Structure 1
Amino acid sequence: MAKEHDNIYKTINQLLLRSNIESKPLAAFYIQFPRGRDVYIILPHFREQVRKLEYNNNRIFVLDYFLLEKDVTEAQLWEHVAAQFLFPHKIITGDKIITDKKKQYLRKIILETLKILVEEHKIAALNLRIKPEYFLFEKLRRLSGVSPLIRREISQFTQYSEDILTLFQDNIHDFTEAAEELVSEGILTHYQGLFAVTEKAYNEMTSKTVLLDINKIERMIKNIFTDRSSLGASLKLFLENVENVPQVYLMSHIPKIPDSQDFLYLSTGIGLQRLNEQYDIIDFAKKFYEEAKFEVKKIGKTLNSTYHLIIRRDRDDVLEFFVKKYLNWTDVKWVVARIWTLGIRNFSMLASSRMANEIYFVNFLREVGFNSPEIVHVNWRGYTLYQEYVHGRTLFDLWIAKHETRWDYAYKVGRLLAEVHSSGIVLGDCKPENFLIEENSGRIYVIDLEQASKKGDKAWDLTELLFYPGHYLDSRTAAEIAGRIASGYASTGDIEQLKKALSPKYLRVLAPWTPVWVQKAISDEIKTLLKS
């Protein structure tokens, strides 16, 4: 191989001299396509910036070093040169230059891809598990969608191969190394042999996403109108190649590459699930439980798309799941909630955001020791979440039924809420219906976490839990139960949050549900507790 590269290097220098190009290459590499080689020669201070040469069945691209650098960092050539690092390639000379630029480009790809994942999957991106193959094939997919040149190169490179993963194994290894470097920087972390976004990186990405997008647009506009030489090089490279691109690649030809979603996973109760596995309720039952009999029952109130899935493998082997389909932003329930609580509580309305919240916070609460029904499957595009079904009654059910344990569980739920708050989580939708007492063990499960957050108002959680029951109960009972909740919260929580929960700005929000005289009875009960 070394001898072959020496011969290629000599041929390159002879070709440059015949073309009246006197500079010696800083670096050079090539890609072997079935039709021949594409050779990229990097020169210092090349005035023409880009020139295409022909040699036998090979295409030779002579490129200025700084133009390569700009294509790697700013997509100056719309990544038509930088993207060659995504194909199996051989370095002829200038190993350090090519290796450094490739590392720089792969790092950029991973960071951009992570930002897109965060944008698309919101906080649930923290629960995604990523194989390095995802970064490679997702980038190739996106490039092929906008560039007929890249589309042609992918197709020509893969059309004769049955094992594309083996074909790209060196590139996958390069992405693995690039991801490992981001692990050392605290941007990625390891998870069961895969990679995951760290919370630190997620917070930075969500706080800077808009600014980064604006800056990128501004740079592109500036380049178009101020850096005419580079724009000319980009157009020149494109025009010199597009004449050789068959019409099929200029249209909607889809190259044969693996689906990037095959390398993106979500951790569930039945193992890692590929994110592109999207099953409705019936398909889910058939996929995972084949010949078993199943039954689907609609449950919940009119505005909730929730179901009870029962799978019977035999008389003594019954599995049960709670299935929740998130309604979109036109859901009347959340429109009304957002308008009425304006200035107090910012409810998430988009189905994707609410499902992302629930996925993340269910997993988070379980990881730190709280009970929440385990997630077993996610249909991301269908906005449908599958969880284990927990038999029991909610705190609300106990109150309405006047169950003898209602006082005890009111105290326990108050204490539990204080512990959840201490873990840094605010529930956002903290009604008594969202605390489920398991019928056999008596364990309390926190459910319906689609409005949960890490930056919410703890006092609002308390206000809702303390005062909302006044809509159903008489003033005396509501006050006594609120007192038990407050006692539980005060036993381990922040007393200042209890005081804040009595603020008129919160109570006015609940006025349509909880009458003023009931609110006063509850407030008096809690004030008495705070004085003791």
Structure 2
Amino acid sequence: MVQLDIEKLKLFTYASIGEYLADIFEASIYGPYAGEYADEKTSIDVLVIVESKESLLKCISKLFDSKRIRFLIVDRRSFERDVESEWLGGILTESILTPYISIINPDYIRYQEVKAKKRMVCDILNNLILSFPEMSMNFMIKPEYFMFETIMRRATLFPPIAYRFLNIARSDVKNRNYTLMMNGFEAALKDFISEGKLKLVDNEFLKISEEYIESIRAKRGRRLRNLFKNSRTRIVRYVLGIFPNIMDSILDDYRIYKTYLAEGNVFVNPVRKLENPRKYIFIPTSSGTVSFTERMSIEDFIRRHMPEKYALKHNIKRLGGVLNSVYILRVAENEKERKTVVKVFKDWYGWKWFPLTLWALGTRDFTVMGKARLEREYAINMFLSNHGINVPSIIYVSPEEKIIFQEYIDGINASEVIRQLYKMTGDENGREKLLDVIRRIGRELAKIHSLGVSVGDCKPENIILSSDGRIFFVDLEQAERSGDQAWDIAEFLYYSGHYTLLPSLNIIDEEVKEFIYGYLESGGKIENIKRALSPRYIKVFSFFTPPHVILAISNTCKRVLKMLTIEEPK
């Protein structure tokens, strides 16, 4: 490492800039010398902020102790605008993102560093929420994520700067440089914690507050503004690229990296060599926290989570239809069988998506991308579980592989309950038990709705009566907050009518009544029942359920609603 005489450099800066401008407000060394990886050939980079009534951005070169020194001179207002909004594409802010050595007015540049990093954290949080509107509530984030995400974004927008970030991470200076960079991020994060936007968990992780997530989700237009902002950043950086002294600084980093790497392959895209920020995001499961970037196949899961003597005895069987890749993993364990459900969330393209589009055209939009469906399955499952709703516990999740491993619920699904009910003759006690299950399903759905969640795919096959008598909701990949709750009711009732061609109308009447009474007695909104009678819902299920059955279900709903309306004044 080449040492500098800081005091001598400070005097030289005053003398050199004084030839052009008298009022130096701040000056700091940035680049290779500040990062302690400069060699004998490296020029010294100094940012000089001056008081000026006019906008100013210029580069000048001088000789200092036989070394070239590059002064990047900017007026104070322009610098502060770049800190606040990347007015100049963030090219000036980069000098305080990475390690720097202040030689004039250190308190000012420290304040601006924290201010800039607070804005960076804010942008990252907002994009994280917009990219993962459901799952972000469960994220457990290490503070380092914000530094590495900022590095990755900068390098993606302006790839040549990646060489500077790679030099900063060199093994002999990495700890020192990352500590200096994180110092500003940690100060910014403390402000977010004090403002209630972040919460510190176990003195190690940060969680985004639910209130902050909701406030950002309400401003989805921000995503489009960020797109224009990134485009502007690319253009500004291209324009600034014509300044030879600015590009010379980047070329120094490239030369140092190439020299240090020696015989390595310097032609590999440098951005790909940067640390993946998502390694520092974790999500909780019943088997512990999982890194967002962890990749694990079904076979990997077996090797890691099953005792070796049991993992040798397993088989995998596919479940479900063409729209889902769902498997059941069976493992022999102490003369018993341990079952795990494995869901692989592939994107729905072409012919797989076409029938769904026709089915619910104009009534219901389905989430088709694998990433979004996995996010909903995980996030809504965790949310409902935390609020006492019976859902399968999530054992493990691999967002990168789009795989979720879930608890297997032993029991029968509600479609079997309804089929038995339609076939029931003469067994009054058995009929009452089955109707009680329907009523309890209505109650459980009302509890889910009271939490502001719609199930999205509420057909009876996705509701299980467990062997111990509990009602479980499974397959939550279409669930969402603030969704269409009337759709859930319409789907359960109208879809249930297709399990037999000629059901007893009396049985249909009893089934519908039990479901509605159960729904309402647990606080379900009567308005949801009314909306479920809309023709826009009925037309969807006419593909599956005979018209006379749909009419019977609809008429029973109307009679119950009329009775409730008559009783209401009392």
TM-score higher than 0.5: yes
Distance apart, 1:165 and its partner CA: 4.5
1:35 matched to 2:48? The reply is: no
The corresponding residue for 1:340 is 359
Call closer, same or farther: CA 1:190–1:220 in 2, change over 3 Å. same
CA distance in 2, matches of 1:102, 1:128: 26
CA contact (8 A) 2:55 2:77 kept: no
Specify the SS of the correspondent of 2:367.
coil
Aligned mate of 2:508, from 454, 457, 478: 478
CA distance in 2, matches of 1:338, 1:59: 64
The corresponding residue for 1:16 is 17
1:420-439 alignment runs, 5 A limit: 420-439=448-467
Distance apart, 1:488 and its partner CA: 0.8
The corresponding residue for 1:173 is 183
Call closer, same or farther: CA 1:32–1:344 in 2, change over 3 Å. closer
Distance apart, 1:84 and its partner CA: 2.7
CA distance in 1, matches of 2:150, 2:60: 26
The corresponding residue for 1:112 is 123
413-422 vs 203-212, greater mean Cα deviation: 203-212
Distance apart, 1:25 and its partner CA: 2.4
The corresponding residue for 2:104 is 93
The corresponding residue for 2:138 is 127
CA contact (8 A) 1:154 1:255 kept: no
1:190 matched to 2:200? The reply is: yes
- The one-letter code matched in structure 1 to 2:343 is K
TM-score, normalised with respect to structure 1: 0.88
Distance apart, 1:262 and its partner CA: 1.8
- The one-letter code matched in structure 2 to 1:425 is V
1:406 matched to 2:413? The reply is: no
CA distance in 1, matches of 2:269, 2:499: 60
Specify the SS of the correspondent of 2:401.
coil
Distance apart, 1:318 and its partner CA: 5.5
Call closer, same or farther: CA 1:231–1:379 in 2, change over 3 Å. same
Distance apart, 1:447 and its partner CA: 0.9
The corresponding residue for 2:495 is 468
Specify the SS of the correspondent of 2:132.
helix
Call closer, same or farther: CA 1:171–1:317 in 2, change over 3 Å. farther
Specify the SS of the correspondent of 1:168.
helix
Call closer, same or farther: CA 1:317–1:231 in 2, change over 3 Å. same
Distance apart, 1:175 and its partner CA: 1.4
CA distance in 1, matches of 2:234, 2:373: 39
Distance apart, 1:495 and its partner CA: 2.2
1:310 matched to 2:340? The reply is: no
TM-score, normalised with respect to structure 2: 0.83
Distance apart, 1:15 and its partner CA: 3.5
Call closer, same or farther: CA 1:220–1:146 in 2, change over 3 Å. closer
Specify the SS of the correspondent of 2:366.
coil
Structure 1 residue ranges without an equivalent (≥5) = none
Distance apart, 1:504 and its partner CA: 2.6
The corresponding residue for 1:217 is 228
- The one-letter code matched in structure 1 to 2:435 is W
Aligned mate of 2:553, from 496, 519, 522: 522
- The one-letter code matched in structure 2 to 1:176 is E
The corresponding residue for 1:264 is 281
Aligned mate of 2:469, from 429, 437, 442: 442
Specify the SS of the correspondent of 1:39.
strand
398-407 vs 518-527, greater mean Cα deviation: 398-407
CA distance in 1, matches of 2:20, 2:13: 11
- The one-letter code matched in structure 2 to 1:400 is R
Q: Which string of whole-angstrom CA distances, capped at 9 and with x for unpartnered residues, describes residues 87-119 of structure 1?
A: 233322223321222122112211222233234
Q: Which string of whole-angstrom CA distances, capped at 9 and with x for unpartnered residues, describes residues 430-459 of structure 1?
A: 1111211221x2111111111112222222
CA contact (8 A) 2:283 2:290 kept: yes
1:358 matched to 2:388? The reply is: no
CA distance in 2, matches of 1:422, 1:322: 28
- The one-letter code matched in structure 2 to 1:285 is I
Give the total of aligned pairs.
522
CA contact (8 A) 1:121 1:356 kept: yes
Distance apart, 1:243 and its partner CA: 5.3
Q: Which string of whole-angstrom CA distances, capped at 9 and with x for unpartnered residues, describes residues 372-399 of structure 1?
A: 1111222223222111122111111222
Call closer, same or farther: CA 1:220–1:491 in 2, change over 3 Å. closer
CA distance in 1, matches of 2:245, 2:357: 52
Q: Which string of whole-angstrom CA distances, capped at 9 and with x for unpartnered residues, describes residues 418-477 of structure 1?
A: 1111111111211111211221x2111111111112222222211111121110131423
Q: Which string of whole-angstrom CA distances, capped at 9 and with x for unpartnered residues, describes residues 38-67 of structure 1?
A: 332222228652214343446443321233
Structure 2 residue ranges without an equivalent (≥5) = 259-265, 425-429, 565-570
Call closer, same or farther: CA 1:210–1:43 in 2, change over 3 Å. same
The corresponding residue for 1:238 is 246
370-379 vs 121-130, greater mean Cα deviation: 121-130
Distance apart, 1:250 and its partner CA: 8.1
Q: Which string of whole-angstrom CA distances, capped at 9 and with x for unpartnered residues, describes residues 349-385 of structure 1?
A: 2222221111111011011111111112222232221
